[in-house]
Structure formats: structure tokens, C-alpha cells
Amino acid sequence: MADNTKITSTTSRPPRHGPGSGHGMHGEKAKNFKGTLGKLLRRIGEYPVQSIFVLILSVAGTVCFVYGPQVLGEAFDLLTQGITAKSSGSGDIDLGKIGYTLGFLLVLYGASGLAHLCEGLIATQISQNISYKFRTQISQKIGRLPMRYFESQPIGDILSRITNDVDTLSQSLQQCFTQFIFSVTSLIGVAVMMFKTSWKMTLIALLLIPISAGLIGLIMSLSQKHFKRQQKYLGEINGQVEETFAGQTVVKLFGYEDTAMETFKKTNEKLFTSAWKSQFLSGLMMPIMQFVGNLGYVGVVVYGAVLAASGELTVGSIVSFINYIRNFTQPIQQLAQVGNQFQSMAAAAERVFEFLEEEEESPDAVVDPTAVPTRFSGTNDFQHVHFGYLPEKTIINDFCCNVQPGQTVAIVGPTGAGKTTIVKLLMRFYDVDSGAILIDNHDIRTLPRHTLREGFGMVLQDTWLFSGTILENIRYGRLDATDEEVIAAAKAAHADHFIKTLSEGYNTHLAEDAGNLSQGQRQLLTIARSILADRPILILDEATSSVDTRTEERIQRAMRNLMRGRTSFVIAHRLSTIRDADLILVLRDGDIVEQGTHTGLLAQEGFYANLYNSQFSYN
């Protein structure tokens, strides 16, 4: 039934690294600050109309804002002139004109506030839309990533990118977007009005710019590496916490609490150090900028007094300029604050972009849609398959096997012999290096992945049930199934009896990881789900290895119902469960050493017979 097959390695899957060892977590990889900001700007550019409105509103609000001190100076001059005229007896204070001027000033500031309010609303919408797209793209990206990515990455780090990094990016982007535009437009507008008022005093104020820019650049260069490390160690600590909580039973069983706490403590200390340094350095920006601003403020006041004494400027002009110099240093300080936020935003954004730019599964080959079968018959043909997780290390070498519809093929052998690898190739989680795998005479590389995988049902050793009712969990196999079809599938899986003993029957809500059910009950539900899905090809990966013998018999009865009329690939350590298989492939040390039926292999008194008899003697 099958040709000779050789497998040259005992490794059946790529190594899984611990927390913090996955891609995007290595500290030695240089961060591209400018490139990341460029990508974010392109994202903002996807909303041209809203961005233009933000710019228009920002400019309008800034014009009103920067013109206010000029009007205030005029009101001050009117008041000064009125007081002088009244004291000399040549006139009186024109309260009406002063009131009109102050009213106009109030309108200016009101219009400025309204414009910036609308600007903030639109900018918030843009930033939230960008965050929404990021989360959507990450969710879609997960479906396109190859299996090797998930087998080499800590789940906590992936979750950190989806939650912490996107949240940091969303908050920082919203603040930076509005604050940066306001600060730049204010800086330009105030500078123009300052030149208009007094170019001599403006030159003094402009001395602040190179000093401020130099200090900002120095602090940003020092703090950037610490922000990068902060995001890195945050991902690591999330991975450690996720793995420790998920494996709490094992942690307690082996007394690993102290070691886990020590590992957490070391990572937490690294996070504390990087976070402290980044926040301390970024926190220096404001006091330094305030100190520089105050120096400029003092210089302008002193020189303005000299100009006023010489009659070159009015008192109102000096009052206006003092307001301008305050408004001139404020946007510089705000830009320093924005620079601080840019550090955190860039570090988070780069991790998100790294994830979105991960190498995806190779695209599906272009095929004639009419050639894609609507349902597989179940014929599987492995033709001289070669494969290795690493290019330099071949695992499967010249694997050949032909399986007819409805047959049951058992794959047995010691742990690490390559059993699961064969299944992964069959479902195209990995592509073969050479050779071909055919289903119904179609090379699986010419079939769309979703079409291929819709032909498979799976029951694994590790059951997966989500938080929801039992009815919803079984219906996950076929979402359009009626309640009657779900119940029929549960009966075929011998799960109906125990479900009815529960307080709410099929409407019983499962806790996280279905902890309120036994392992055997969870397995019966996954079998019911596969029966409901009604897929022509089944993969059963050690589905009974973690239950007791009596429960195993129950599950075996359910699986016989599930396997009836379907092509089945069974991976099993308990050889008693595959005695009725049509073909048994025996793997050892990376080779197919024997193949045949249970009776025939026992008669050979070879490796399979030794495996079977050793299990029987223990049982």
C-alpha cells in the first residue's frame, strides 16, 4: 500500500523559545526612529480631508490666539492714554472703546478655543481610526502568519503588541498630532507678530531656539534607547506572566514558584530601570525649557524697558511683546513634551510595524476555480516528500504513502519521530521542500489554504473550548447548524448524557478553558464539534492520551462514530487504540521502519510488536 519511506531526523517540530526570545524582542536590533515616523505620517495621510481640516482649524485658531495680545496691547494703550489725559485734565477715559476692544479680544479667544476644540475632535477621530485599523490589520495578520511564527514566539509578547503597544500608540498619536500642529503654528504665528512689534527684541527671543533645540536633541538621543528597552521588557514581562498563569498547576506541582518569581523579579528590575531612566530623562525637558524660557523672558523685559524709556515702543507694545514671549516659549516647551511622547510612540509603533511586516505564508497559487473540488473524497497521496524546519536539516526524506478514501492510517512511534510533522505538512501548515502531497489528485499547493483546511476535522490532545455555552462550542464546527443538529452530534459523540446532567444542560456556560468540565468531557465536546463539521478527512492527534481507561473507551466509541466513512490519520501512543487501522506506519529514529496492519506487524515480531507488548505488559 505504501512505498519505503525514510525520515532522517527525530525532530518533529521547531524549538519553542521562552518569553522574550521571539522576534522583535532582541535589544541588538537598531531602531529606525525616522523610518517609523515616516510610516506613521503615511498612515495619517490616509485621511487627507480630515487632516486638511485639522490644519485649517489649527491655523485659524492660532491666528485668533496670536492676534489676542496685539488687541490686549491696544486696550492697554487706550487705558494708559485715558489715564494720562484725565490726570492732565485734557480728556477722559474712553470706557466704551476700551470695552469694545476687550469684547473683541474675548471673541478672538472664544473663536480660538472653538477652533482648537473642533481640531481636537477631528484629530481624535483620525488617531482612533488609525488604531482601529492597526488592530484590524493585526487580527488579519495573525491569520496569514505561518505556523513557525507561533511556534517560536511567546504568546505574551504577541498580546503585548496588540494591547499595550497599540494603546500606547493610540494615546501618544492623538496627543502628538494635535499638540505638534498647534505648537508649530503657534510658534510661527507668534514669531511673525513679535517681528511686527519689535524686531530688536525678537532677535533676543530667537536665541532661545538653537539652545532649546540642542537640549531637546540631546535629551531625546539619550532617552530613546531607554524607551526602546522599556517596551521590550514590557513585552517580556507580559510573556512571563501569561505563561506562569497559564501553567500555574505545573508551577505549583514542581515547586517552581521561587524560580518563577526570581525570573519575574529580574525582568521587572530591568523594566523598572529602563522605565525610570526614560521617564527621568524625558522629565528633564520641561524644567530645562522653563529655565531657558525664563532667561529669555528676563532679557526681553530688561531690553523692552530701555526701548520704552527711549520712546521707541509704547507701554502697550511692551505688554503685547511680553505676552508674545511667554506664548513663544510655551510652544517650544510643548514641542519638547511632544518629543518626549514621540519616544514612547515610536518605540510602540515600531513593534507594531515589525509584527505587521513579518513574513507571511506563501500566497496561494492561482488556480482555475472550477478545478477546486467542492468536497474531497479523501484520497491522499504522499509522493517523495522531503522536508526540514531548517534548510540545512532535513527531517522527512523521500516519504511515500497512498491512502484511499475511508481508510484509517495510524502513525505510531516514539516522541519526536516526526508523526505530527506529517500532519502539519498534510494541512499545509508548512510546505514541502520537494516532492508533493496530493488530495484527490490535486497538489495541495495549488489549492487555496482555506479550501484545503475546510476538508479537515481535528481532535487534538489539547482541547480548545472558548468561554460560552456548550451549545455554542459544539456549533463552532458549523455555525449554521440548528439546535437539533448540535444535539444529534452530541449524541453521536456520547456527550449527550453528561450534558443533560449539568444544571443548565446545553446552555451551561463554560468557564475559561472549560475548567468546570473534566478532560474526558471536554474531549467529547470537541469530537461532537468535529462530527457536526462533517469533514471528509480527520486528524486525531493523541486524542485519548490524557484520560483514564474507562473514559478512553467512551471516547473511542465516539471516535468510531466520527471516523465512519471518513479518511482518518490517527497519531497515538496507546497502541491499543489503533488495532483496527487499515495501515499502520511505524516511525523510529526518523525512519519508517515498519508498515502494515496490526495483525501483520505483530506477526513480524519487530519494533511494533515490542512497542505493543511493552505497553500491554504495563497495562
How do the domains of the chain map onto residue ranges?
A: 33-356, 463-534
- Quick one: cell of 426? 498534510
Q: How far apart are CA 57 and CA 60, in angstroms?
A: 5
pLDDT score of 17: 35
- CATH superfamily, domain at 33-356: ABC transporter type 1, transmembrane domain (1.20.1560.10)
**pLDDT at residue 551 in the model:** 67
Check residue 482 and give its pLDDT. Answer: 92
Contact 568, 551 (CB under 8 A): no
Report how far apart, in Å, the C-alpha atoms of 531 and of each of 70, 83, 466, 523, 588 are: 79, 95, 18, 12, 32
CB within 8 A of 369, min separation 6: which ones? none
* Domain covering 463-534 assigned CATH 3.60.21.10 in the classification: no
Kindly list the averaged pLDDT for each block of 10 residues, start to end, along the chain of length 619: 36 34 34 79 89 88 86 80 73 80 90 90 88 88 83 78 83 80 84 83 76 76 79 80 74 77 87 85 77 75 78 78 77 75 82 88 67 80 85 79 88 79 86 89 86 84 82 90 91 88 89 74 87 87 64 74 84 76 80 83 87 67
How much is the pLDDT for 111? Answer: 93
Looking at residue 506, what is its pLDDT? 92
The pTM score is 0.62
Q: CA of 293: how far to CAs of 5, 206, 207, 317, 403, in Å?
A: 79, 11, 10, 20, 81
Looking at residue 8, its pLDDT comes to 33
Buried (b) or exposed (e) across 469-492, using 16+ Cβ within 10 A?
ebbbbbbbbbeebeeebbbbbbbb
Sign, Cα dihedral of 541, 542, 544, 546 = negative
* Cβ(437)–Cβ(427) below 8 Å: no
378: left (phi over 0), alpha (psi -120 to 50) or beta: left
Question: Which secondary structure element, helix H or strand E, spans residue 439, and what is its range?
Answer: strand 434-439
Cβ neighbourhood burial of 42 (10 Å; 0-12, 13-18, 19+) = exposed
The number of CA neighbours under 13 Å toward the Cβ of 560 is 11
